[in-house]
C-alpha cells in the first residue's frame, strides 16, 4: 500500500486493494464465476464512457456473442479526467470539431490493437495495422505513471525481405507525439521536420522518426530520442518497457 505525500494512506489505493481482495475471495469461494480473458475472441469496442468500456466479443466455448464491460476506477493509473485528455487528442487531430461531447468518443475511435490481448512486437503491429490510416498509438509505461504516444495520419508500412528499399521516410506535417504524466499534464509535440515524420526500416517496428520507436528485436522495449519533433515527451532517452499499449483508428 502506497503512502501519500502527507504520510497517510492513499484512500484510492486502499479502496482499490479492498475491492480487489473482496473480488478474489468471492471468486475463490464460488460466489462469482470467473472466465479467463483468453476465452473470448473477435473483441470490438462498441462504447466508451466515464465509468467504463463495453466490448462485443465471441465467447469461444459457447459460440455466443456477448458483451464485456470494463469498469474504470478513476486514478488507478494516477491520471484524473482521462476523458478530457482524449477529447483534446481528437480535437487536435480534427480541428473542425468545435464541441465534442464524451458520448461522441466511441463514434470517433475504433480499437485496432491491444497488446495484452493481441500480443506485442512489430509483426503483430504491422499485421493489425495493415492499410490503416489515422492511427493513435498509446503506450502505458511499465512501473511509471506515464502514458505516451503519437498520431500517424498515414499508413504504417512494413518493409519485408523482398522489398528493394532498406529504409525510407513518409512525409507528413500532421503527425504529433504526446505524453501524459501523473500530474495530469498533457504535452503535445508537433513534428518539426515533416520529411522525417514517420520512419520505415527493415526489421524495425513502428517509428515516429527517432522520437518514439519500438526497439529492434524487442517486443516490449521502446525508446524516445528527440530528433524530428518539437518537444521531448520523456525526461530520459533510455529504453523502457511497456506494460500495455493500444492503437485506435480515428474515424
Distance CA 90, CA 100 (A): 9
DSSP of 162-199, one letter per residue?
T-S-SEEEE--SS-EEEEE-TT--EEEEEBS-GGGSEE
**Cα(70)–Cα(58) distance, integer angstroms:** 16
**N- to C-terminal Cα separation, the chain:** 41
Q: What is the mean pLDDT of residues 186-204?
A: 91
Query: Contact, 77 vs 140, CB < 8 A?
Result: yes
**Cell representation of residue 225:** 530520442
Model confidence at 15: pLDDT above 60: no
* Domain locations along the chain: 79-250
The yes-or-no verdict on residue 121 having pLDDT over 60 is yes
The whole-angstrom separation of Cα 113 and Cα 126 is 10
Does an H or E element contain 105, and which?
helix 105-108
Q: How are beta strands 40-48 and 52-59 bridged, if at all?
A: antiparallel
Listed residue (65, 77, 68) closest to 47, CA to CA:
68
* pLDDT, tens only, 43-81: 887 765 544 567 788 888 888 898 877 655 443 334 455
Q: What is the CA 88 to chain-centroid distance, rounded?
A: 15
What average pLDDT does the segment 190-217 reach?
92
Distance CA 201, CA 210 (A): 12
For the ranges 64-68, 102-106, 243-247, the one whose mean pLDDT is highest: 243-247
Residue 125: predicted pLDDT: 95
Amino acid at each position: 500500500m502506497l503512502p501519500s505525500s502527507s504520510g497517510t494512506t492513499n484512500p484510492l489505493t486502499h479502496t482499490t486493494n479492498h475491492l480487489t481482495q473482496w473480488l478474489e475471495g468471492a471468486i475463490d469461494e464460488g460466489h462469482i464465476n470467473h472466465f479467463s480473458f483468453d476465452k473470448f475472441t473477435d473483441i470490438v469496442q462498441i462504447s466508451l464512457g466515464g465509468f467504463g468500456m463495453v466490448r462485443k466479443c465471441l465467447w469461444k466455448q459457447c459460440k455466443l456473442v456477448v458483451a464485456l464491460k470494463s469498469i474504470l476506477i478513476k486514478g488507478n493509473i494516477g491520471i484524473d479526467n482521462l476523458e478530457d485528455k482524449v477529447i483534446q487528442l481528437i480535437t487536435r487531430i480534427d480541428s473542425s470539431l468545435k464541441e465534442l461531447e464524451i458520448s461522441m468518443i466511441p463514434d470517433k475511435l475504433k480499437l485496432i490493437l491491444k497488446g495484452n490481448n493481441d500480443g506485442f512486437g512489430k509483426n503483430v503491429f504491422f499485421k493489425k495495422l495493415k492499410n490503416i490510416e489515422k492511427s493513435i498509438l498509446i503506450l502505458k509505461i511499465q512501473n511509471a505513471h506515464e502514458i505516451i504516444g503519437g498520431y500517424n495520419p498515414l499508413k504504417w508500412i512494413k518493409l519485408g525481405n523482398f522489398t528493394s528499399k532498406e529504409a525510407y521516410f513518409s512525409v507528413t506535417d500532421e503527425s504529433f507525439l504526446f505524453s501524459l504524466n501523473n500530474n495530469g499534464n498533457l504535452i503535445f509535440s508537433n513534428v518539426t521536420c515533416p520529411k522525417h515524420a514517420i520512419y520505415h526500416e527493415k526489421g524495425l517496428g513502428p517509428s515516429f522518426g527517432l522520437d518514439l520507436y519500438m526497439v529492434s528485436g524487442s517486443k516490449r522495449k521502446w525508446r524516445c530520442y528527440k530528433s524530428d519533433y518539437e518537444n521531448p515527451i520523456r525526461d530520459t532517452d533510455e529504453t523502457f518497457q511497456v506494460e500495455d499499449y493500444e492503437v485506435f483508428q480515428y474515424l
